[in-house]
Amino acid sequence: MRIDNKLSLMKNRLLLLLLVAMFSSCIKDEIITAPIVDPIPPKILSRDTITTGQLWGFAIGQSSASIYAKAQEVKFERKIAYMSVVGNVFTSLESLENKIPLYLSIYLDQTVGTGTGIQIYFANNTVKSIWTNDGKQMNKWPTNTSTNSSIIKGDQVSEVYTKLANIKTIGAYANKFERISMFEKDIAKPYDDQMNNSRLWYINGDVDEKSYYNLELNFTAGKLVSIYSTLYEKP
């Protein structure tokens, strides 16, 4: 789902990731003088549950790797705009060196969520934006460290792991690596074996300018067992 208004997009994305992550995350708000109006929720047009057969070529009983390959195959046909992976949370940065470029964002925080947790978003293989959980946008994080020990807007994604490893050695920021989350999968990139461990993926695909599908793909032991399909009218 694409929403031009940046504030609405950030709220909608964070609300979905809140469900995916199953932990508290602060929604970004800009400081404005006018009353804050929440985005209009999308209208549900229809719902369906599939436990046999297939939908969009996603066949019940297939492995998560096969389902991912099919998502890549039908990405343009089904106008897939978003894929998220539930429970993709890590405690070791060292295990992510080759994984970070496969995703569209990475979140860093303490085990217990804080307002100063860091959210880094990628686009076109570069760092697109940096936010704190409490809604502060940044061009650089941390702000008081050298170029080699900070994430800077415009950095190449291929540089992010090395820079994060340097930041982790700085005592003031080490606790931001207690919980590392990567939920938004870049479908243009290869499959990540860690996705085998997820019990739920979300996929959004546009139908037209007025409506879109949200699919909930449910897995057991790495096999697709059901699909919950919801057709929404865009607000």
Give pLDDT tens digits for 15-61. Answer: 455 445 444 343 333 333 445 556 778 899 999 999 999 999 999 99
> Residue 190 in 3-state DSSP?
coil
Closest CA to 105 of 79, 133, 72: 133
Mean pLDDT, the chain, integer = 88
Q: Which residue has the higher pLDDT, 30 or 219?
A: 219
Break the chain into its structural domains and give their ranges.
89-182
Q: What pLDDT is recorded for position 13?
A: 56
Cα(156)–Cα(172) distance, integer angstroms:
24
Mean pLDDT of the 97-109 span: 97
pLDDT at 35: 53
Is the pTM above the cut of 0.85? no
pLDDT digits (tens, 9 = 90+) for 57-93: 999 999 999 999 999 999 999 999 899 999 999 999 9
